[in-house]
Structure 1
């Protein structure tokens, strides 16, 4: 038979209407299954069933050997593509109940609910308020230029580290401090200078994991630059590059940001009206005439569900041991520096939206009966440690960005993939209750191990509510403080820290300003995404808005110095101590257990601001698992505790035990704290 040739324009070649193969082997392989017969259109595969040895699951699929000739047929190919598109549209279309009235992201960037022009105004508000003390560039994607005045940044002339920036620095000059103590007073490190400020740009240059910096080297810079080496300085040469703490000196008059008006302060943008408060006035420390700056309160926040145990107890003890709270005075002097406070927010019943009228009295009765909590009710601590009742309804209603819409949410608590649906119930009526809410939310039963997942998910949102409403710094309860945070309070920007080796945020430490534009952005964006405040979700929000530098991502060496080691990084040059697992803090391996007793507090990640041990629920002190605070707190000791001899104590002390006993020794008045201050009774 002969086939007439037909001319085609494809590459000026003459083709015929029969398949073309490079060899007979290729032809046979494509047209048959290798057995001389045409290959079937569908083939089956056997998949073993776990636990069933003699049975397998048979799965039918399109034979890959038949794909090339099938795809050569245009109609079949078009049908295949159309079916794929329809299937994708079907799977991508959201189904289920919608949250009527809740803003829906309208930006092309996934989670965004604001337009770029709105994002620029939000960021401009923060810069004009002095919340961008960094030399990092403002995002060019939002159209910033060099005319934006930045009152928290000095002019480029005369600064220690000159980097390019698109913000026009108009603030006071920075003078970097030499915190070296002189003889003979070198036994203890100096307290940070009141009003001093940490330069996170310099710290980032020495500590950023992405640039190959080691936690060990970062901690050495933090020790020497912060004066924590107690005169034991082995480094020789000029160390000006390691100075990272400064004072704002005389310079240009601060910009009166309240007179600066952002264009179109209130207009419809994105999905809603963007309403921002007046720009805040940036005030350097030397211009504040009161003991504390009311615009930047020094409040540590902690959220806790259930009875207090040794975890928040040790966090509060580390606060008393390290921070300048004035326990070395019987009466705190009026001219003394501003002392921080620690607010412990107690969620008595997880997810309880409308507590009963007696909830506050019940809370304090429980605290008095709890040996781990009762010591902090002592009048000696009344001005620095405060217990507060968490009320979900009141807290959500107190956030302007949420109060009109949070009740419309189909699911109130969401954190990443965890979505908690709570059952609405009628609240018990009481003549003494003045709450306007008539509903409450029933908490699900605790999960295995005594934990309530809802309380954990709620804490992801609580940290943003607390800092947005009251200002200050939020801390997870599984942390201990390791040095005075005076210079961190001086940094006027918002911050969290890095999630190990990922370029994401961990909000176990979170600093935000009261009523800030950043808070408005986060709450409205989270509202449009199911009230999701998981750190990974917050990371996505900030990345898509080009706000990565607005919430400064501090290297994790400052707050979480063991994290990289526990995940297999930097094991060739680990810091001191070396933890391959977070459990080693509570159960120190015998081979390394000589270090805690020999080095004590000073040998534990010296230079870091805090240590996050990631919640291993082990006792801090297995031998003395109770508050060991001496005669002033005798009622806090359980009745069945019998005083043991030294020989009965554990031979090898763990790091957790040494840290707890260091804090308790200071409160008993038997030893000074890390700065040489003695507790005065």
Structure 2
């Protein structure tokens, strides 16, 4: 009986690796002859297959080792030949290494050959060190993260917001030389909390503990995209750590590594430490070079800015040592900026604020929250085009417009007094209110975004004021229709008041808001949010973390300032305004990223993962689609037009199924798309019926169906007139409205009291 034998793959005598059932192949007889007989040339060809071309190969000449070896032996002998060959190889290797080191040590020459973005730096190293010391001493750096080496600190700075280390850092973790990259903790101990609902009260999550703090170092460990962390996993850690998985906790076992919320442990005898930031032992150079700014690149054509003049640092006070629940040095103010007629976008932002934050409206009207610092919401209104100057009666006109606008008027109700406040934005007044800008801003371009300047002639500013006074009342259904010339003029880029479509984007207002957020936080303190933001949970723990922050620009290591925390009159704020002034008042987030990087100040403005405020962004840009978060958005428009394949989720899961764990959601513009197309009016119940009927009439004016007319005239509605599948935007709007109507509690189980 015949049998077959398996011949493993081996290297044949012809030099080709062959399998048991194949024969050696050559592209030509000449190739086979050269391979078998060897070559007398100094080079030998190597043939590489071409993808998609089976009959041809790429011929690459390669040094012929056989000829080189024969030459060395014939010239120097059998013993000296190989040795000389080895010496030659070492010389070639040394030459390559020396060339590489030369390039590495001449960084400036290398940058000239491959120029990057020009430097924006206008501060000496001593000033940057002073800024760092002031922020740390004021408790604005409660982080264990390293300080930049380029800062050149040679003595550790005492950090009152960081607990003292339990053991000395091993020497192998310390940087070489005398440069210090860690602050020295001298603050109170931290107790990490196990936050969860206790039976039988598991229907709703518990409110955060007053004075609790989010350890954002821990958050970064679980959420940082640079560490390949998934948004889905980050949100689970955020949910579990805050007790938002109430009644649905599926994890068992110890979850100490997921605890990111802590409180500071102090006794009655605790005294805030006094830190001297003017200690000259902290004033250092990065090297023994005679130039103290060695390694820093100054902005071309600009002079170094004058020495930073800072007041004494703030005394860091743990929450339990405050005489009142609210810290006057760190006011809890949410800021939002709005231009043009009031619409459903700021309406929903305010409703989500009331639905999630600890405002006290669930208590009787005259009863105060005990031991709780209530946040406030300041909505800044720019009444006309961004380039216009408000008229003398602007404040009176603003409130008249708000009262007549059904989307805005509900928030003027006395129940929301002290919780929501409308503020008039005046660009001149605000810029003059910033000490670092007031004497010089008039010589700069106000509308500069990423280096792109939009010029606004003075004649256009005055005409914009006239147009705003004539047609800017913002009342739904009550504005007279503009003539053809007026419509064309109002659509001009200089006269737009709000973005009415993707083709008529109000670019000037966007640029103005880029600057306004820094001004508001620096002047008044607090957190700024873009108007296309929806609150998803209480921000108590973020208020407790006293540092400044923004969040990451999706996959890029840049800032997005759609959420911005900046402390009142801080050293960091002074740096930003002086730097922006020397860079023509450019506050675009990408430019701010350069300001911070060039000055080695990035850790002072923490770049939080976008999972906390913008959880759909990575999915929208084609990242992490193998394990997306819930809901799965491939486009920001999915909020308003949920794809049919996932359209059952909004009604089935509701608010609790919408990026649970995130602090907020940023839907990136879409100002022109209604949240609830079928019921595009405020639906807040009998208390606000008058405004609702005005909005219904406005909606009916653009709808020719009979059912819409019946709904307006008689109040009768049929559920058949509603959409069968409700989009996520609609579900969120109707959830918040049902809370105001008193039909359900807020997300923490609290019922509104009128």
What per-residue deviation string (whole Å, max 9, x for no partner) do you get for residues 633-680 of structure 1? 112213423542112110000000000001000000000111000011
Pick aligned residue for 1:113 from 122, 144, 153 = 122
Aligned to 2:199: 183
Shift of 1:352: 4.6
Q: How many residues align?
A: 562
Matches within 5 A, 1:411-430: 411-425=445-459
Pick aligned residue for 1:197 from 210, 213, 216 = 213
Shift of 1:283: 1.0
Aligned to 1:393: 428
Aligned to 1:272: 306
Aligned to 1:47: none
Residues 146 and 168 in structure 1, CA contact (< 8 A), matched pair in contact too: no
Q: Secondary structure at the match of 1:203?
A: helix
The CA RMSD over aligned residues, in Å, is 2.7
| Residues 1:445 and 2:495 are matched in the alignment | yes
Aligned to 1:626: 681
Query: How many Å separate the matches in 1 of 2:305 and 2:155?
Result: 30
Aligned to 2:381: 346
Change (3 A) 1:359 1:264: farther
Shift of 1:231: 2.7
Aligned to 2:96: none
Aligned to 1:404: 439
Q: Secondary structure at the match of 2:606?
A: strand
Query: How many Å separate the matches in 1 of 2:239 and 2:271?
Result: 32
Change (3 A) 1:264 1:310: farther
Query: How many Å separate the matches in 2 of 1:480 and 1:158?
Result: 43
Q: Secondary structure at the match of 2:587?
A: coil
Aligned to 1:41: none
What per-residue deviation string (whole Å, max 9, x for no partner) do you get for residues 32-77 of structure 1? xxxxxxxxxxxxxxxxxxxxxxxxxxxxxxxxxxxxxxxxxxxxxx
Change (3 A) 1:643 1:513: farther
Q: TM-score, normalised by structure 1?
A: 0.79
Q: TM-score, normalised by structure 2?
A: 0.71
Pick aligned residue for 2:563 from 509, 513, 520 = 509
Shift of 1:278: 1.8
Change (3 A) 1:652 1:624: same
Q: Secondary structure at the match of 1:561?
A: coil
Shift of 1:109: 6.9
Q: Secondary structure at the match of 1:638?
A: helix
Matches within 5 A, 1:150-161: 150-157=159-166
Structure with the larger helix share: 2
Q: Secondary structure at the match of 1:294?
A: coil
Pick aligned residue for 2:647 from 587, 593, 602 = 593
Q: Secondary structure at the match of 2:161?
A: strand
What per-residue deviation string (whole Å, max 9, x for no partner) do you get for residues 360-392 of structure 1? 000000001111101101111111000000000
Aligned to 1:209: 225
Shift of 1:445: 2.9
Q: Which runs of 4+ in 1 moved over 6 A?
A: none
Matches within 5 A, 1:25-64: none
Change (3 A) 1:236 1:158: farther
Aligned to 2:724: 651
Aligned to 1:239: 255
Q: Which runs of 5+ in 1 are unaligned?
A: 1-21, 24-87, 93-107, 429-441
Aligned to 1:8: none
Residues 151 and 169 in structure 1, CA contact (< 8 A), matched pair in contact too: yes
Query: How many Å separate the matches in 2 of 1:400 and 1:414?
Result: 20
What per-residue deviation string (whole Å, max 9, x for no partner) do you get for residues 67-121 of structure 1? xxxxxxxxxxxxxxxxxxxxx99xx9xxxxxxxxxxxxxxx97110101111111
Shift of 1:413: 1.8
Q: Secondary structure at the match of 1:462?
A: helix
Shift of 1:632: 1.1
Matches within 5 A, 1:59-458: 110-157=119-166, 166-250=182-266, 253=270, 255-257=272-274, 260-261=277-278, 270-330=304-364, 331-333=366-368, 335-352=370-387, 354-409=389-444, 411-425=445-459, 444-446=494-496, 449=501, 450-458=504-512
Query: How many Å separate the matches in 2 of 1:254 and 1:654?
Result: 54
Residues 351 and 736 in structure 2, CA contact (< 8 A), matched pair in contact too: yes
Query: How many Å separate the matches in 1 of 2:276 and 2:161?
Result: 16
What per-residue deviation string (whole Å, max 9, x for no partner) do you get for residues 446-485 of structure 1? 3884432111100000000000000000000001000000
Shift of 1:144: 1.9
Aligned to 2:7: none
Aligned to 1:571: 625
Residues 353 and 393 in structure 1, CA contact (< 8 A), matched pair in contact too: no
Residues 171 and 253 in structure 1, CA contact (< 8 A), matched pair in contact too: no
Shift of 1:280: 1.2
Q: Secondary structure at the match of 1:272?
A: coil
Q: Secondary structure at the match of 1:508?
A: strand
| Residues 1:468 and 2:468 are matched in the alignment | no
Q: Secondary structure at the match of 1:623?
A: helix
Shift of 1:359: 0.4
Aligned to 1:95: none
Larger radius of gyration: 2
Aligned to 2:296: none
Residues 170 and 254 in structure 1, CA contact (< 8 A), matched pair in contact too: no
